[in-house]
Amino acid sequence: MILTADAEIVRRTNRRETPNGWNTAFIGSNRYTLKADQTAPAEDALYPVAFLVEKGPGGVTKPHFHRADQYQVVVSGYGKLGLHDTGSVAVHYTDAFSAYGPIVAADEGIAWFTLRNGWDPGAKYMPASRVELRASRDKHTHWEATTDPVPPVTDATLAAASGITDAQIIEGDHGLASWRYQLPPGAKLTGPDPSTGGGQYWLVLAGSASAAGSQLLGVNSCVFVAPTDGELAAIAGPGGAELLCMQFRVPFAQRH
């Protein structure tokens, strides 16, 4: 089933304060929002989790790794991601058991989406978790990709567009890929075939769009498309749309 999260609605209902910022759950439950009577999903199950992290000026997330593959998308502010200067819109991908960071917010703070297609029990901070990371190397190797920040297009650019443009910004093996699309007002887009990967997230970067017949979704709204859902049908709103599509690898057990 295709899942949609309208940013305007989600931010009104799911935004919660943390010690040094805010966290907003968009899709699925994470370890902070899983209810006491809920059982955590199996780590090898398809389970989409999407949430927005907002850090205040100078906020720091220490180097760590996760047990799940994940995308991170910086959607506002600036800072450092490891050795990279980062800002809106930068896309960062890490395989499970790939350590990265730290993430350090600049003076204006920084906000990013964390997007996963499987459950993760929580960050494993370095160097305390180094033994666990080394023990994973018989099954997992470090793989990380980071794009340079490219701001969303302006409303004027979208309104003046005469056709759909697309650019692949990340490419890996076993279906891993990411694309950015620009759609003029009212344009229709058929997305990549999700069966070639392990599920897709779509994020509205500018303008608005309808996804799989949904109402118009504004900036920072997101959509999850499972491998069996078929190609996403998107329609740009009256001001056009810029969309980001991020596809995960085919699950390890299904690779040949």
State pLDDT tens for residues 49-67.
999 999 999 999 999 989 9
Q: What's the pTM value of the predicted model, to 2 decimals? A: 0.94
Residue type at 207 in one-letter notation: G
Kindly report the number of other CB atoms within 10 A of residue 230's CB atom: 15
Q: What is the mean pLDDT of the chain?
A: 93
Q: Within a domain: residue 20?
A: yes
Residue type at 47 in one-letter notation: Y
Residue type at 155 in one-letter notation: D
Q: Within a domain: residue 1?
A: no
Give residue-wise pLDDT tens across range 150-202: 999 999 999 899 899 999 999 999 999 999 999 999 999 999 999 999 999 99
Kindly report the number of other CB atoms within 10 A of residue 130's CB atom: 13
Note whether 115 and 139 are same-domain residues: yes
Note whether 71 and 134 are same-domain residues: yes
List, in order, residues 6 or more apart from 103 with CB less than 8 Å away.
55, 60, 61, 79, 80, 81, 110, 112
| 151 token code pair | 């701001």
Note whether 130 and 165 are same-domain residues: no
From the list 247, 240, 177, 211, the residue with the least C-alpha distance to 6 is 211
Is residue 76 pLDDT above 80, yes or no?
yes
So what's the pLDDT on residue 32?
A: 74
Q: Average pLDDT in the 54-83 region?
A: 94
Q: Within a domain: residue 85?
A: yes
Note whether 139 and 201 are same-domain residues: no
Note whether 142 and 223 are same-domain residues: no
So what's the pLDDT on residue 256?
A: 56
Looking at the structure of the chain, the number of domains it has is 2
Note whether 16 and 126 are same-domain residues: yes
Q: Within a domain: residue 27?
A: yes
Note whether 139 and 30 are same-domain residues: yes
Q: Average pLDDT in the 119-145 region?
A: 87
CATH of the domain at 240: 2.60.120.10
**Burial of 171: CB neighbours in 10 Å, binned 0-12, 13-18, 19+:** exposed
- Find tokens 């005469």 and name the residue: 162
Q: Average pLDDT in the 211-239 region?
A: 97
Domain region containing 30: 6-146
Note whether 23 and 106 are same-domain residues: yes
How far apart, in whole angstroms, are the C-alpha atoms of residue 65 and residue 130? 10
Give residue-wise pLDDT tens across range 5-38: 999 999 999 999 888 789 999 999 877 777 777 7
For residue 130, give the 3-state DSSP assignment. helix
Which of these three, 146, 179, 204, is where a domain ends? Answer: 146
So what's the pLDDT on residue 19?
A: 80
For β-strands 21-27 and 49-55, DSSP reports them as antiparallel
From the list 21, 22, 24, 27, the residue with the least C-alpha distance to 12 is 24
Note whether 111 and 183 are same-domain residues: no
Note whether 241 and 121 are same-domain residues: no
So what's the pLDDT on residue 255?
A: 64
Is residue 232 pLDDT above 90, yes or no?
yes
DSSP structure class, residue 103 = E
Note whether 160 and 193 are same-domain residues: yes
Which of these three, 146, 163, 188, is where a domain ends? Answer: 146
> Is residue 189 a contact partner of residue 204, using CB atoms and an 8 Å limit?
no
How far apart, in whole angstroms, are the C-alpha atoms of residue 53 and residue 14? 12
So what's the pLDDT on residue 21?
A: 87
The model's confidence at residue 97, banded by pLDDT at 50, 70 and 90, is very high
For residue 86, give the 3-state DSSP assignment. strand
> Is residue 49 a contact partner of residue 28, using CB atoms and an 8 Å limit?
yes
